[in-house]
Amino acid sequence: MSIIIAPSILAADFSNLQKDILMVNNSNADWFHIDVMDGVFVPNISFGIPVIKSIKKNTTKPLDIHLMIVDPDRYIKTFVNIGADILTVHYEACNHLHRTIQKIKSLGIKAGVAINPHTPVSVLKDIIKEIDLVCIMSVNPGFGGQSFISRTFKKINKLNKIVEKEKTNVLIEIDGGVNDKNSKKLIDSGANVLVAGNFVFSSKNPKETINNLKQNIYN
């Protein structure tokens, strides 16, 4: 399976967002990763509906929207309507996760489940065949630029065992602190979607940085 690179727009230049969107469009990136934060589930507020609508108008690649919000069911149809291609909800934010996943998929898009650093992957065993993507948070959600939590590698290994046992093709996405020091090991451990924010947008040549992640050439 080829590696999917999803630059996190949370780390883009908000004063010239169109420039960074065009850069991603013209790069070897596969998706746009958009973190939606409500200031309740996580201690930060990010993109609202109008901003995401504007991003969608200028993108040529799928939108991977990550809902870091309480009661995400209220907004599923809204995010589908504005152009989400993958919609990920947090395990910790859903009282009836199976119903939430069914609702997303009934609207014709891919459904993902994210888990916080303290949440074991075992909680997904009974839902793994119903979802398209698992997002393992490798930092505490809420802010970009945090240090990568090394225990993530063990979580990937444990999740892979569940995936193999259940014989499903779920994607394993890593979100937080991805860089040239850990990307190869993440991929070798079994991850196939890398979300990269500051590492991409703060680099001297973001397109080259994306390409290097895509080609898995970091040591």
Has 175 been annotated as catalytic? yes
Q: Which stretches of the chain are DSSP H helices?
A: 17-25, 49-58, 76-81, 97-106, 152-166, 183-189, 198-201, 206-215
Active-site residue 35, yes or no? yes
20, 64, 132, 175: the catalytic one is: 175
One of 20, 30, 35, 38 is an active-site residue; which one? 35
Q: CA 162, CA 11: separation in Å to the nearest integer?
A: 32
21 touches 14 (CB < 8 A): no
Nearest Cα residue to 109 out of 69, 144, 63: 63
Radius of gyration in angstroms for the set of CA atoms belonging to the chain, rounded to a whole number: 16
Side chain identity, residue 154: K
Planar angle of CA 128, 67, 166, nearest 5 degrees: 5
b/e code 45-76 from CB counts within 10 Å (16+ = b): ebbeeeebeebbeebebbbbbbbbbeebbebb
Q: Which residues are catalytic?
A: 35, 175
